[in-house]
């Protein structure tokens, strides 16, 4: 019974040590999201109406199956 208790204490201590691991901090400047390269279009230059079903006579929508 004593050996079981010692083994249990060792297992709990080992698990506690593993859960206390803290990953090293990484500088946040390494990450670059592609959306940061997109230039914003002024609201005045956007069309007032937009219909994916008729863009210069082409329908880019899929057919409804339901």
Separation between Cα atoms, residue 63 and residue 61, nearest integer Å: 7
Domain boundaries, the chain: 2-34
Q: Calculate the average pLDDT of the chain.
A: 75
43-61 pLDDT, tens digit per residue, is 899 888 889 999 999 999 9
Given pLDDT bands bounded at 50, 70 and 90, which one contains residue 5? confident
- Give the three-state DSSP class for 55: strand
């Amino acid at each position: 019974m004593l050996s079981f208790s010692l083994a249990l204490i060792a297992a709990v201590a080992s698990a506690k040590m593993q859960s206390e691991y803290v990953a090293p901090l990484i500088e946040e400047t390494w990450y670059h999201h592609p959306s940061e390269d997109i230039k914003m279009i002024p609201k005045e230059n956007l069309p007032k109406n937009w219909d994916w079903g008729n863009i210069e006579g082409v329908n880019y929508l899929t057919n409804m199956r339901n």
